[in-house]
Amino acid sequence: MLGIKRCNRKASCRLVAVLLAGLALVGCQRAEQPFDGERPPNIILMLVDDLRWDEPGYAGNPVATVNIDELARQGVRFDNAYVTSSLCSPSRASFLTGMYPHAHEVTGNLSDIDPELTPTIGMLLQEHGYRTAMIGKWHMGADARPRAGFDEWFALPGQGVYENPDFNANGKRLKSKGYNTDILTDRAIEFIEEHDDEPFYLHLSYKAVHQPLMPAPRHARTLQAADFRGLDRPNVTERKHSVRARRAETLLAVDDSVGRIMRYLEDAQLKDNTIVVFTSDNGYLLGEHGRADKRLFYEESIRIPWIVYYPPLGKAGTVRPEPILNIDFLPSVLELAGLPVPAHIQGRSFAPLLTGGSEDWRAYWVYEYFNEAEFMHLPTHLAVVDDRYKYVTFPEGADLFKEFSGEDMLFDLQVDPYEQHDLAASGDHSDILVAMKTQLRQFARETELRFFDLDPVFVNKRIKWLMDEEEGLGWFRAGMQRTYPQGYPGWEPPERKSFD
């Protein structure tokens, strides 16, 4: 059994009501709680945007990420870390809530977390006396206004920009001068300095390395496309060496920031009592399978770097093979802080893995992506992943999307790590397909997974607006015209699959 349940709305509301009785929303009196015995650890999440697991220097990339690499040498590295949905808002909400996207209901980039559905890590830590800060990219909902669970708020509106960005600083618009990554790190260090006498949680969410790429001036044009030749995976059909170089240059300011923060923690004598997690909100396709961007079930899209630095636990330089998910962040840091993990949390704590334990780890996990009107060519799909196989299914059927047949897919990741050979139709793996379909049914029952039926009237209106010459989006119009060269036919909902 997976041992996970979807958050019951009524029960969750009762939980949040109890929490908020002692919590403060931004700008209000925060709950204070004295600590018995030793001070609990500080917690820092460094969340990079769109960074693949293989882009830091330690993974073989020809870029000198000396500070990220040093963090990996001093900490514990999880080389098989994944997101449960490879899209900004759903993934970020999963980090914050410890829940799958279909459970916290942030299934696309236009949604925001509902604090009445589930509390965030900030809210839970506030209840236990932590000072909390959200600094950087929030990217949920339509604005950058302060959200529940954070005493300090310094957020970019939407994606933000790299140069001279605007911020929402505790409810007020602030115009800044300088480079985005550096400004975020400056503010993060200020927050640590202001609260170094009490336990804190710092949610530090960088814009880098999201498109459109813009390295810091000190790093611009320091790398060449030729530096990245020879790195292409066998499934690359469109080479993007210049994009790789630009991404690597943009990452260098993040690497500088990792070094600055770790040096400050050391100088302030906080390093030994601070949990630092370095990771990303999703991977990114760089020409694999002829694609760019994320969203899809392929390894390059869903796999992320994951480093945990916490000196009291874990041998420096340890590399763990277990599959870690973004929903595991919340229960792990709560356990490491000695705090209770709410019953509705769907992730599990990797804290035992830091000290060498590995018994009874997850046998499989589920990936989910729900179709967005702006990306009609990419279908809703679910994937079951175990230690060898990946099974992919498309609940919306075969008739809607041009780029996938809608038929189930199966990959043997042990012999085909680049996912080039679909085994589902061969007939030789019927027992594997039956077993993984059963696992998906079990997951759907335990987590109350339902398939989000799209409203065809809304979808067709939305697409018509997006393709409009004057009001629409040029990139979307161009993409739809490539996908449907004879014209978009309008959408009728296909028959839905059922797992019951």
Q: Is the pLDDT of residue 368 over 70?
A: yes
Q: Say what the pLDDT of residue 357 is.
A: 80
Question: Where are the domain boundaries for CATH 3.40.720.10 in the chain?
Answer: 9-362
Residue 23's pLDDT is what?
38
CB distance 248 to 61 below 8 Å: yes
State residue 500's pLDDT score: 54
Confidence check: pLDDT of 360 > 90:
no
pLDDT of residue 212: 95
Q: Residues of CATH 3.30.1120.10 domain(s) within the chain?
A: 365-483
Task: Give per-residue pLDDT as tens, 220-237.
Answer: 999 999 999 989 999 999
Q: How high is the pLDDT of residue 498? A: 56
Span 151-189, pLDDT tens digits: 999 999 999 999 999 999 999 999 999 999 999 999 999
Query: Can you tell me the distance from the alpha carbon of 188 to that of 210, in angstroms, rounded to the nearest whole number?
Result: 20
Cα dihedral sign for 473, 474, 480, 485? Answer: positive
The answer to whether 81 touches 303, Cβ cutoff 8 Å, is yes
Helix (H) or strand (E) holding 189: helix 180-194
DSSP for 108-140 reads STT----TTT---HHHHHHHTT-EEEEEEE--S
**CATH T-level topology, domain 9-362:** Alkaline Phosphatase, subunit A (3.40.720)
What does the buried/exposed string (b/e) look like for 158-171 if buried means 16 or more CB atoms within 10 Å of the residue's CB? ebbebeebbbbbee
Candidate CATH numbers 3.30.1120.10, 3.40.50.300, 3.40.50.11900, 3.10.20.90; the one for domain 365-483:
3.30.1120.10
Q: Which two tokens stand for residue 69?
A: 């690499």
Contact 255, 65 (CB under 8 A): yes
Segment holding 153, helix H or strand E: strand 152-156
* pLDDT for position 439: 96
All residues at 6 or more sequence positions from 90 whose CB lies less than 8 Å from its CB, including other chains: 84, 101, 106, 107, 108, 111, 370
pLDDT at 452: 57
Q: Please enumerate in sequence order all residues whose Cβ is within 8 A of that of 184, keeping only pairs 6 or more positions apart, or say none.
A: 135, 136, 154, 204, 206, 207, 257
Judged by average pLDDT, the poorest of 3-7, 256-260, 379-383 is: 3-7
Q: Please say if the pLDDT value at position 104 is more than 70.
A: yes
